[in-house]
Structure 1
Amino acid sequence: MNDENALLKQALLLDGSPDMIRKFYEGWSHSYDTDLVQDIGYIGPEIVADALCKKVSGNATILDAGCGTGLVGVELLKRKPGLIVDGVDLTPAMLAQSREKGVYRKLSEADLNSQLTELAHDFYDGTVSAGVFTNGHVGPSGLDGLIRVTKPGAPIVLTVRDSAWEADGFKDRIEQLESEHRTRTTSVTQSPYHTNEGIYCQLVVLEVI
């Protein structure tokens, strides 16, 4: 197991402030893919794409929430080229990197902590999010926006870094959402996340009720 990437360590110390997060990722956007995929062995995009594609049709309309540089969009279309994928992210510089990949129908700036009020209610056939629900970024309340924009009966697939799963209240919130009959928990599975660093996540698959 290698020492954790220095920039990733800084990212985990962010306080959830949109301005701080935007500034940080503005500076990281150009080397982000190399740092994550090659250096730390980040496989979040692959595991969420695998899980979501088992749950949706080949021409479904999908939201990539917190799309970053577009790694998830690429993995989705590798598996199902007919998918229509929209992406939202907080940082314009990261959206610019996504745009260069040419896999999204539409890209827009949005804060996942603001309930995604810019997007239509009950619109998407599936929603996916990798690397967003983690320390110092989007907290459990961000799940409410994903539920709002996803159709009843449709899946939401996301990663939650292990260090945030219980400590930041994700486990409790997902249990609460099920008890309130807002979502049904299909599965919660521990998965490798940063394969070169021995970091794990919880791969969460929900169904909107």
Structure 2
Amino acid sequence: DAIREFYENWSRDYDSDLLLAIGYVGPEIAAEALAKRVGKTALVLDAGCGTGLVGIELIKRNFDLTIDGIDLTPAMLEQSRSKGAYRKLNIADMCGPLFEIDDDVYDGAVCAGVFTNGHVGPDGIDELIRVVKPGAPVVLTVRDSAWEADGFKDKVEQLEESGKTRTVEISHSPYHTKEDVFCELVVLEVI
């Protein structure tokens, strides 16, 4: 509830605060990683879509994508809706099951800015894997301060060891360019 309220209050200034003030590039790197791994007419999920920054970056790279978005905060979804990049936008809490989404629906999923300290933990990855088709990519940004400390590195390794995913890429990437903050860009292939 506290996180939902925080983002409700921040929704109008979110884009300018992140893009201009701190140089947030998570949406760009995540969209680039997904766009080069899905077909031109793919159906993709932007999980934790916020104000739609990833959706805009995906459309810049591939005009024919169909994008659905989910987010915890209604005000953030309204900002996403205003950008016109999404087919559907729904409220969802990634800390639990995504009941409204069937198995094996999407040709890919992307999640930027959600896997960070105090937000969604590593178990949130399980639902992204469930809702994409076998062979599809799941692209994540994980704040570097959360990567090992919050168990994301271990989770990614466990997913591969259990045969649920194949790790395609893990790269240490810029995240907030004006604050010298980094993330791990993770690309998984669902098996």
Deviations along 1:169-193, whole A, 9 cap, x unmatched? 0000000000000010001000000
Give per-residue Cα distances to partners, 1:95-131, cap 9 Å, x unaligned.
0000000110000000011121211110000000100
What do residues 49-79 of structure 1 show as CA deviations (whole Å, max 9, x unaligned)? 1101110011100000000000000000000
After superposition, what is the alpha-carbon deviation per residue over 1:68-93, rounded to whole angstroms, capped at 9, x for unaligned? Answer: 00000000000000000000000000
Quote the residue 2:169 is aligned against: 187
Matches within 5 A, 1:69-84: 69-84=51-66
Aligned match of 2:91:
109
Alignment partner of 1:103: what SS?
A: coil
One-letter identity of the residue aligned with 1:157: V
Residue matched to 1:90? 72
Q: Secondary structure at the match of 1:114?
A: coil
Structure 1 distance, partners of 2:97, 2:24, is 27
Distance 1:82 1:75 in 2: 13
Aligned residues: 191
The DSSP-based 3-state class of the residue aligned with 2:28 is helix
Report the equivalent of 1:13.
none
Residue identity opposite 2:173 in structure 1: S
2:139 to 157, 168, 173: 157
Matches of 1:48 and 1:164 in 2, distance apart?
17
Q: Secondary structure at the match of 1:204?
A: strand
Q: What are the residue-to-residue correspondences of 1:55-70 with 2, within 5 Å?
A: 55-70=37-52
Secondary structure of 2:31's counterpart equals helix
The residue that corresponds to 1:40 in the other structure is 22
Counterparts of 2:146 and 2:97 in 1: how far apart (Å)? Answer: 20
**Does the 8 A contact of 1:115 with 1:146 survive in 2?**
no
Q: CA RMSD in A?
A: 0.5
| Aligned mates of 2:3, 2:106 — CA distance in 1 | 26
Is 2:127 the partner of 1:145?
A: yes
Q: Which runs of 5+ in 2 are unaligned?
A: none
Structure 1 stretches of 5 or more lacking a match?
1-18
Letter in 1 for 2:107: D
- TM-score for the superposition, normalised by structure 2: 0.99
Distance of 2:34 and 2:166 partners within structure 1: 15
Q: Which runs of 4+ in 1 moved over 6 A?
A: none
* Percent of matched pairs sharing the same residue: 66
AA aligned to 1:40 is: I
- In the alignment, the residues of structure 2 paired with residue 117 and residue 208 of structure 1 have an alpha-carbon distance, to the nearest angstrom, of 19
Judge conservation of contact 1:130–1:159 (CA < 8 Å) in 2: yes
Counterpart residue number, 1:177: 159
In 1: Cα distance, 2:184 partner to 2:97 partner: 22
Structure 2 partner of 1:206: 188
Matched, 1:135 2:117: yes
